[in-house]
Structure 1
Amino acid sequence: MEINKADQWQFLQNYTPARIARGRAGHSLPTAELLKFQADHAQARDAVYSELKVLDLFQALLSTFNLEVLRLQSEVKSRSQYLQRPDLGRTINQASRKILLEEDASESDICFVVADGLSASAINEHAFSFLNHLIPKLQAENWEIAPICIVEQGRVAIADEIGFLLKASIVIILIGERPGLTSPDSMGAYITYQPKLGLTDESRNCVSNIRPEGLNYELASEKIFYLLNEIKVKKISGVQLKDEMNDKQIL
């Protein structure tokens, strides 16, 4: 039996963090690679059950931007329920709905929603830094920005109701994506024009893997700033809106 035989595709590890070319011991992975797999799997599971640092995020947003910040919750009562009942994570609870209605919001160009999703770790690590790149770009162009909403136990579609109640033309939700074995802290951004209850995924544009090891904050903010301007001008989003931005433009 050959032990720890080198994999002929090992050079590909120079180009991707994907779990390829890990070698073998007989018909199995080498012990070291098996232990790394188990550690990455545990890290991904931990990310799913991680908790949103609401107070830290609230204070950071409030002290940095000249914007109101609201704390909201979905109808989910616990993390186990969040995983078992995705539908409850798509709607805000009565207390949060009351908060938004009492805002008596005027019309705005955009509403930012920040939700834990399937990896609160991603939001804890990346949401503020990303917004610190994007919001100043919008403020420089005189975009009218609604209160920023932090949502606990939220799914993507929860932004539709929030954006509608705050009378925003566009809503963008930053949310922790499903953890991968090499990316437990990946953040996604979903953008919707004319948000309202009942919309489905074809109505949204998605920019995913926002993190330093993926699409970094500056590149992600440039990409999303482009999409937001396209949506504002063309008044469409989702599958109707084609991303014609050349990535070389933001390099």
Structure 2
Amino acid sequence: METSGTNRGADRFREWMKFTPARLDVGRTGTRPLTTEMLKFRLDHAAAVDAVYGEVREETLAEFGLFTVETQYRDKEFYLKRPDSGRVLSEEGARDIVRRCMRRPQVQIVVSDGLSAKAIDDNLADVLPALRDSLAANGLTEGTPFFVKGGRVGVMDDIGRLLEPETLVLLIGERPGLATASSMSAYMCYRPGPGRKDSDRMVVSNIHAGGTPPTEAGAHIGALLRKMIEQKVSGVRLEV
């Protein structure tokens, strides 16, 4: 018996559903969502809230010997209302970086919780070793890595002002959604510092088990850093 166009369309739709975590065809009872779907929604929302308000585990940082500095974020509520507070280091944090870090490294690695502490806990153990292997394979050396609490992407420029690295990569937790609360991004810039624009940076995003695989991301980041150093540029002008 020939399959109708409606059935073929439904089969195709179900096939598409396998490739996205988006909520599709969740069903309803009257005007209300199904109880199971509502509970899943509330669970995912709670995970997103926990990711934003959570703290990176000390064990995660200790595993890689990362010391901690803070931005001017004050506390989580202030940080969420004032994104600019996460773009500038505290005075104590700036002093610690100058005192403890190598100046003018080829690659400066920085880790930050950003908007998802869970992203760091879930992905750093795979991303950072893969990145270091990639740096070695590409003939690159790294400076002194550290962790920034309460960071935003713009903190790259404040760090660049202090350390003057040739390149900097910031591994930072992304804003969580209802599909995942553990997504990480890697922002990169050639010679970061005051006055840099978003177009001067590049990013590998959606790094997590259900997105860009963490180990693959680490390898790719190292290759991009090599190209940035070879071409002495980053962002939209980099030829990849």
TM-score strictly above 0.5: yes
Letter of the 2:119 partner, please give it.
Answer: A
Mapped pair 1:20 → 2:57: no
Once the two structures are superposed, the pairs formed by residues 143-222 of structure 1 within 5 Å of their partners are 143-222=140-219
The residue type paired with residue 191 of structure 2 is: Q
2:121 equivalent among 108, 121, 124? 124
Range 91-100 or range 163-172, more displaced? 163-172
Q: 1:61 aligns with which of 56, 64, 68?
A: 64
Residue ranges of structure 2 left out of the alignment (5+ in a row): 1-8
Choose the corresponding residue for 2:132, options 135, 145, 148: 135
- Residue 77 of structure 1, CA deviation: 1.1
Query: Separation in 1 of the partners of 2:164 and 2:141?
Result: 11
Aligned partners of 2:31 and 2:116: how far apart in 1? 34
Between 1:14-23 and 1:103-112, the stretch displaced more is: 103-112
- Equivalent position amino acid for 2:87 in 1: R
Aligned to 1:47: 51
Aligned partner (choices 29, 32, 35) of residue 31 of structure 1: 35
Q: Which amino acid aligns with 1:46?
A: D
* Counterpart residue number, 1:247: none
CA distance in 1, matches of 2:41, 2:191: 43
Q: CA deviation at 1:151?
A: 0.6
Higher RCO (CA < 8 A, seq sep 6+) = 2
Asked if the contact 2:71/2:89 (under 8 Å) is kept, the reply is yes
The answer to whether the Cα contact below 8 Å between 2:130 and 2:216 also exists between their aligned partners in 1 is no
Dislocated runs of 4+, deviation >3 Å? 7-11, 103-106
Gaps of 5+ in 1: 1-6, 63-68, 244-251
Shift of the 34–138 alpha-carbon distance from structure 1 to 2, 3 Å rule, reads same
The whole-number CA distance in structure 2 between the counterparts of 1:128 and 1:104 is 22
Q: Which moved more, 1:168-177 or 1:132-141?
A: 132-141
One-letter code aligned to 1:192: C
Q: Is this contact kept in 2: 1:10–1:20, CA < 8 A?
A: no
Q: State TM-score, norm by structure 1.
A: 0.85
Is the 1:160–1:171 Cα contact (8 Å) retained in structure 2? no
The answer to which of 102-111 and 224-233 deviates more is: 102-111
Mapped contact 1:146–1:166 kept (Cα < 8 A): no
CA distance in 2, matches of 1:168, 1:227: 16
Report the CA distance between 1:242 and its aligned residue. 4.0
Deviation at residue 192 of structure 1 after TM alignment: 0.6
What is the number of equivalent residue pairs in this alignment? 230
In the alignment, the residues of structure 2 paired with residue 222 and residue 136 of structure 1 have an alpha-carbon distance, to the nearest angstrom, of 7
Query: Quick one: which amino acid aligns to residue 157 of structure 2?
Result: D
Query: Where does residue 4 of structure 1 map in the other structure?
Result: none
Identity of aligned residues (%): 35
TM-score, L = length of structure 2: 0.89
